[in-house]
Structure 1
Amino acid sequence: MAATQVLQSEWTKIRSVQSTLWTLSLALVVTLALGALISIVTRNTFEDLSVRDQAAFDATRVSFAGMGLGQLAMIVFGVLVISNEYSTGMIRTSLAAVPQRGTFLFSKIAIASSLALLVGVVTSFGAFFLGQALLGEHRASLGDSGVLRAVFGGGLYMGLIAMFSMGVAAMLRSPMLSLGVLMPFFFIISNILGNVDATRKAGQYLPDQAGSHVMQVVAPPDDAAPYGPWGGLAIMAAWVAAALVGGYVVIKRRDA
């Protein structure tokens, strides 16, 4: 089967599975909703912040407060895209139709990643404009130094989270096992390693902690990361590449 036909087939599969499309919609909705709520609260309580916190105030990052929940939806999307066929047994039919396993896997990833990146960028810009409108006089402008980079980078971050999840799901091949690894990794282990003094330096190189630096306009006072915004995103991209290579090796060597 030609590569273009494989791509078209994967696009049809993703469109036909409602759960994958719902997770992308959920990523958009929860990110905007929570970001809007936090922006309203921040505007109403800004005067209660200490002088130090007001000086380090990052209006752009406030509008991204919902990214955590949006990230959760992106993880689920990435896992479902890859592991749905394993859980239903359709993987055997797919590999019989496309015996070139690399073509099969990376066509699926190409279509799903394009969707995730598109939704991620729309979500990031939407969250920014909505959040800044609600912040009132404390808002930032897209033309301010570092803001456009942070907003566009937020979209790339969400897309890369989905891609990393796809790579892990391709290695583990089970939706429950993949989510059982990814959820604790991002929402428990990463937070612990990043906030404990003994492990903070190592935690800075985890994909979410490194990648999220691209969304910062004003660095927190306690931020001692040895890389800049794009350097952090590059570290995250390296994690994604490693996960995708791992997924390719597994699907190449193991039976369906």
Structure 2
Amino acid sequence: MSGTAAFRAEWTKLRTDPVNLWLLLGTVLVTLAVSAGASLTARCDGPGCGGDPTRLGLTGFMAGQVVAAVLGVLAAGNEYGTGMMHTTLAAIPRRGTVLRAKAAVLTAVLLPTGAAGALGSLLIGGAVQPGRGFTAAHGHQPLSLADGPVLRAAVGSVLYLALVGLLALGVAFVVRSSAAAVGIVLGLLFFLPVLGQVLADPDWQRLLQQVAPMPAGLAVQTTTDLARLPIGPWEGLGVLALWALAALASGRVLLRVRDA
């Protein structure tokens, strides 16, 4: 089966399973809800509120990534759990093609999902904070995607969500268990930042912020005080991309050498 046919097959699997559609919808709704809650909680009416209003408005991606990770895990984990992976590999003997097709379909659905979450979050944040935040940090002008840092934060957040999904997909191919894969991915995303807070050595704290997938990747949302970041916005997203690439590469190797 060609790569195009494999992509169509994986697309059919995804769109015909209602669980996947609910997960995509849930990713958007969770992202919007948490972003709106963060903006409302931090709302103030004075001009000196400070902070990074763009990053605040995109806070929901910290929660939405959990749903996206589950979607990425289930893209492979469900087939291992039900035994359907045997059928998939029988229809597509080239195992690398299977992984690439799943990754391509997952990316194709997470990018517009992330875009909806980012645009909605910024619109909500601007609406609920008319007196500060979304105007104060940008010269009292409405938050706009025409503003370079805001656009970078929005686009970066979309890419961040897709990369988390690909990281989860790769881990699922490695461990072949949905429950274990979800636990590993959430551990990578949330445990390493917590560990960084526990460590007393500031050098170790900074190192973990530079190499851990979530704090490094979410640096792309920052639009103020960039010099104080442990890692640059795009460099941080690159760290997450390396994590996802390593997971997918490991999954591909193990998919080739192990029985389904």
Q: TM-score, normalised by structure 2?
A: 0.89
The residue type paired with residue 40 of structure 2 is I
User: Which residue identity is paired with 2:68?
Assistant: M
Aligned to 1:160: 163
Distance in 2 (CA, whole Å) between partners of 1:10 and 1:107 is 7
Output one character per residue of 1:6-47: Cα deviation in whole Å (capped at 9) or x when no partner: 11100000112222221111110011112112212222x465
Give the corresponding residue for 2:139: none
Identity %: 34
Partner of 1:216: 222
Query: Is the aligned partner of 1:183 residue 2:189?
Result: no
Task: Measure, in 1, the Cα distance between the counterparts of 2:22 and 2:225.
Answer: 34
Cα contact 2:39–2:57 (8 A) shared by 1: yes
Q: Corresponding residue for 2:77?
A: 83
RMSD (Å) for aligned C-alpha atoms: 1.9
* 1:194 Cα offset (Å): 5.0
Gaps in structure 2 of 5+ consecutive residues: 136-142
| Distance (whole Å) between structure 1 residues aligned to residue 40 and residue 192 of structure 2 | 30
What CA deviation, in whole Å up to 9, does each residue of 1:142-191 have, x standing for no partner? 23351111111111111111111111111111001111212223223332
User: Which residues in structure 2 correspond to 1:36-185 (within 5 Å)?
Assistant: 36-43=36-43, 45=44, 54-55=49-50, 57-138=51-132, 139-140=134-135, 141-142=143-144, 143-185=146-188
* CA offset digits 1:211-235 (Å, max 9, x no partner): 10100111389x441x311111111
Deviations 1:91-113 (A, max 9, x none): 00110111000011111111111
Q: Describe the SS at the equivalent of 1:12.
A: helix
Equivalent residue, structure 1, for 2:138: none
Give me the whole-angstrom Cα distance separating, in 2, the residues matched to 1:7 and 1:180.
Answer: 28
* Distance change (3 Å), C-alpha of 1:145 and 1:106: closer
Question: What is the alpha-carbon distance in structure 2 between the residues aligned to residue 183 and residue 16 of structure 1?
Answer: 27
In structure 1, the partner of 2:17 is: 17
Match among 238, 244, 248 for residue 240 of structure 1: 244
Corresponding position of 1:249: 253
Give the 3-state SS of the residue equivalent to 2:42 in structure 1: helix
Asked if the contact 2:188–2:213 (Cα under 8 Å) also holds between the matched residues in 1, the reply is no
Question: 1:197 Cα shift?
Answer: 3.5
Instruction: Give TM-score scaled by structure 1 length.
Output: 0.90
Partner of residue 203 from structure 1, selected from 208, 221, 224: 208
What secondary structure is seen at the aligned counterpart in 2 of 1:136?
coil
Indicate the SS of the match to 1:137: coil
User: SS of 2:30's equivalent?
Assistant: helix
Q: Is the 8 A contact 2:157 2:220 kept in 1?
A: yes
Letter in 1 for 2:128: L
